[in-house]
Amino acid sequence: MKKHCLLLFCLICIPLMGQSTYKPDWESIDKRPVPAWFENAKFGIFIHWGLYSVPAWSPKGTYSEWYKYWLDKKTLMGNGNFTGTEIYDYHRKMYGEDFTYADFAPMFKALSYDPEEWADLFEHSGAKYVVLTTKHHDGFALWPSREASISYGRPWNSMEIGAHRDLVGEYVNALRKTDIKVGCYFSLREWDNPLYNKETMDLFYERHWFPQLQDLVNRYKPDLIWADGPDQINDKQWQAERTLAWLYSESPVKDSIVVNDRWANNTGKKHGDYYTREYSNTNSSYNKPWEECRGIGLSFGYNQNEDLGDYTSPKALILTLVNIVSQGGNLLLDIGPNANGKIPPIMQERLLQIGKWLKVNGEAIYGTRAWGNFCQWSKGSKEWKSKEKHYVSGDAILKQTVDPDPGYAVKEVFFTKKGNNVYAILPRYPKNKIVLKDIQTTGRTKITLLGSDKKVQWNQKVNDIEVIFYMLMNYLAIMLGYLNWKRFQSKFFYVLSYTAWICRVMKGKSIDFYRLYMESIYGLF
């Protein structure tokens, strides 16, 4: 019986009292406690929307929001073998030799943009926070940013050209009517800003970047700032300590703001309230809250070149969420509206499917923390790796759970904990039973189903618990309570099935029959 996890359940997350002001140095800044809401949220929505949404095109396996960079540099990076000129060639054929990236600005009209509809969709998705790209690497601002237009010497914000609307302000106002936290993505990198180079970084920071960030924060008072694109420029050149000291000590959101770790090329996984990673499927453990961000396809911005098969399935998205949360992280799942501000129906459908699952099973997700061994493995090699070149697709999780390659192990059960409760999430519906390994019970142990009052049949088998499924139906989740304190110091243990749909065993019909039936209807198994 494993004993190395005994102390995990003695840990209590109690926020430390933070100081009222923070000095512009990492020793002081790193002492600031992270607002609790972020680590409890677990699921957020990323929104990439800007001028790149007008062409909305890049080769499959590449980021469409990098359209300008691919166009200017005649290069490409992503999953695939590219000549590098694909965007350049497409642009010239589609728009002509004299059409520049700046010419997309009047076309970014946002005619279908309805932030109230967005907010309603996000509520039904079960997301607890949303992050909008207020300014991407092209420098175009989605709010009336004075600095943007001055720096570029032309109208370069959504109030002065294109939509002629404060797109950020409308987004913030709509979300404030809900319980969803408001996040703002804010790029450090600006490809065409004349001051953006190592030699003039001080001027770029003082005249443009920092005043622009202050304007954004003072206007909208976001709950989260998602910094990105520091390039090969260090924290001293970016004046990262000064920036965070202002956010934590002087800004109107000093007590509530949450920030990530992308403030310079040497701050990742070191500083900030939480760490970030992107399009990954590695198993991770960090000393701070962390977040995985990815698109539903292989692009953050909307890419009209992607087909149905390029989008991650609902099953895989839910398993991705569970996999990340079981390791203590958050999932920030990206959507890309089109230039008119319409969220593609397939992206809406995916968010609603996640929301349906969370409505029943959210208890095992929201507010949880990592527990012991975050998953239970089957026999076989655990070293499976995706063959994709740069970005790991969302469907890769299926190879680690329900569709393994020969000889490779799968994650049979995922675990999360909340207070005295421990949850286990099953990627698939068992044919007749599930064995939870190395767990002992006492006379006080209870086993129940989340979302159901059906009685659960189970047995202690030496050091394992055998849970019988052949008579179970409805939302399949099991709770076990008052476990042996030699295994862990917890009063309750939950087992939560991935399959949040009704399954029955009827006379003359096998479980396999109903699994196949449900698969054909819902694509869940």
Asked, for residue 505, whether it belongs to a domain, the answer is: yes
Same domain? For 335 and 393 the reply is no
pLDDT band at 375 (very low <50, low <70, confident <90, very high): very high
Tell me, what's the pLDDT at 420? 78
Q: How many CB atoms lie within 10 A of CB 277?
A: 18
Pick from 276-285, 413-422, 466-475: least confident: 466-475
Cα(39)–Cα(32) distance, rounded to whole angstroms? Answer: 15
| Residue 482 predicted with pLDDT over 60 | no
Eight-state DSSP code of residue 176: T
Tell me, what's the pLDDT at 419? 87
Same domain? For 287 and 168 the reply is yes
Pick from 70-79, 261-270, 455-464, 497-506: least confident: 497-506
Same domain? For 136 and 260 the reply is yes
Residue of 42, 44, 37, 130 whose CA lies nearest to 414: 42
Same domain? For 355 and 380 the reply is no
| Residue 28 predicted with pLDDT over 60 | yes
Asked, for residue 68, whether it belongs to a domain, the answer is: no
Average pLDDT over residues 390-406: 94
CA-based R_g, the chain, Å: 24
Tell me, what's the pLDDT at 488? 37
> Cβ(489)–Cβ(9) under 8 Å?
yes
Q: Quickly count helices (H) and strands (E) in the chain.
A: 15, 17
Q: What is the pLDDT of residues 229-246, one digit of tens each?
A: 999 999 999 999 999 999
Asked, for residue 199, whether it belongs to a domain, the answer is: yes
What are the two backbone dihedrals, phi and then psi, of residue 311, each rounded to the nearest 5 degrees?
-95, 140
Tell me, what's the pLDDT at 48? 98
Quote the number of domains for the chain.
2
- Assign residue 224 the CATH number of its domain: 3.20.20.80
Pick from 14-28, 194-208, 272-286: least confident: 14-28
Cα(136)–Cα(262) distance, rounded to whole angstroms? Answer: 14
Tell me, what's the pLDDT at 520? 33
Q: What is the pLDDT of residues 100-157, one digit of tens each?
A: 999 999 999 999 999 999 999 999 999 999 999 999 999 999 999 999 999 999 999 9
Asked, for residue 458, whether it belongs to a domain, the answer is: yes
Domain closes at, from 337, 361, 385? 361
**Sole residue written with tokens 């005619």:** 111
Asked, for residue 305, whether it belongs to a domain, the answer is: yes
Same domain? For 318 and 400 the reply is no
Same domain? For 44 and 159 the reply is yes
Cα(357)–Cα(101) distance, rounded to whole angstroms? Answer: 41
Q: Which residues contact 453 (CB under 8 A, 6 or more apart)?
A: none
Q: Enter the pTM of the model.
A: 0.88
Domain closes at, from 307, 328, 361? 361
- Residue 471 structural domain: 375-522
**Sole residue written with tokens 């699952």:** 357
Pick from 146-155, 183-192, 268-277, 443-452: least confident: 443-452
On average, the pLDDT of the chain sits at 87
Same domain? For 349 and 456 the reply is no
DSSP string computed for 293-305: EEESSS-SS--TT
pLDDT band at 324 (very low <50, low <70, confident <90, very high): very high
Greater pLDDT, 481 or 438 = 438
To the nearest whole percent, how much of the chain has pLDDT over 70?
85
Average pLDDT over residues 402-412: 95
Same domain? For 118 and 232 the reply is yes
Q: What is the pLDDT of residues 30-45, one digit of tens each?
A: 999 999 999 999 999 9
Average pLDDT over residues 460-482: 59
Same domain? For 154 and 303 the reply is yes
Tell me, what's the pLDDT at 523? 39
Tell me, what's the pLDDT at 518? 34
Same domain? For 394 and 479 the reply is yes
Tell me, what's the pLDDT at 347? 98
> Cβ(476)–Cβ(497) under 8 Å?
yes
Tell me, what's the pLDDT at 456? 77
Asked, for residue 382, whether it belongs to a domain, the answer is: yes
Tell me, what's the pLDDT at 18? 47
> Cβ(102)–Cβ(154) under 8 Å?
yes
Asked, for residue 166, whether it belongs to a domain, the answer is: yes
Asked, for residue 385, whether it belongs to a domain, the answer is: yes
